[in-house]
């Protein structure tokens, strides 16, 4: 009885096992009712400190934030040639949100390679927009040149926006 009360006093994480159940717990309260040296009824309240398969609040919050950022990245990239399928697969792996795992390292590597590909899109669209507008074109070609410039500006904005969301996913995973 003293050992159990000491667990309560110290807040030590201990194993609680019965039947087929096994949990790491902290003894929250302990009440002993002494009848005799060989009969002491008691009441114990425990808090589960760790349970395999249960996500902690930090992981749940990270999952929600990463999912929201990924959804925004997909929305920003829609209508462009930016591909985010490999990033989605990496983020969907079992331990992508668990620090120190190979799944997380792979997710971070995929974020980096996605940002490189998006960076190439930004560079390409920036180069198109840097060209002088219609300097050597006939007036009749201005309409298509203008449409091309507007499309490039839209693609550039989408790529920059997508890059920001993918970058934020990487920052969240790194933190």
* Cross-strand bridge partners of residue 46: 27
In this predicted structure, what is the pLDDT of residue 5?
Answer: 84
User: Of 75-79, 86-90, 143-147, 165-169, where does mean pLDDT reach its minimum?
Assistant: 143-147
Length of the chain: 175
pLDDT in tens, 125-174: 998 888 776 666 676 777 777 888 888 899 999 999 999 999 999 999 99
For residue 93, give the DSSP letter.
S
> What is the reported pTM?
0.65
C-alpha 77: how far from chain center: 19
User: Does the pLDDT at position 115 exceed 80?
Assistant: yes
pLDDT at 135: 61
């Amino acid at each position: 009885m003293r050992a159990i009360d000491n667990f309560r006093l110290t807040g030590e994480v201990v194993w609680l096992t019965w039947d087929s159940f096994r949990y790491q717990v902290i003894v929250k309260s302990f009440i002993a009712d002494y009848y005799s040296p060989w009969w002491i009824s008691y009441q114990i309240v425990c808090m589960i400190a760790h349970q395999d398969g249960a996500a902690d609040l930090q992981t749940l919050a990270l999952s929600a934030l990463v999912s929201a950022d990924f959804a925004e990245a997909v929305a920003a990239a829609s209508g462009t040639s930016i591909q985010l399928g490999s990033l989605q697969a990496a983020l969907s792996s079992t331990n992508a949100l668990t620090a120190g795992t190979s799944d997380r390292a792979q997710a971070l590597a995929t974020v980096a390679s996605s940002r490189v590909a998006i960076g190439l899109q930004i560079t390409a669209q920036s180069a198109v927009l840097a060209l002088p507008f219609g300097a050597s074109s006939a007036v009749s070609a201005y309409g298509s040149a203008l449409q091309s410039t507007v499309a490039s500006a839209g693609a550039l904005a989408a790529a920059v926006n997508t890059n920001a969301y993918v970058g934020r996913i990487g920052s969240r995973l790194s933190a």
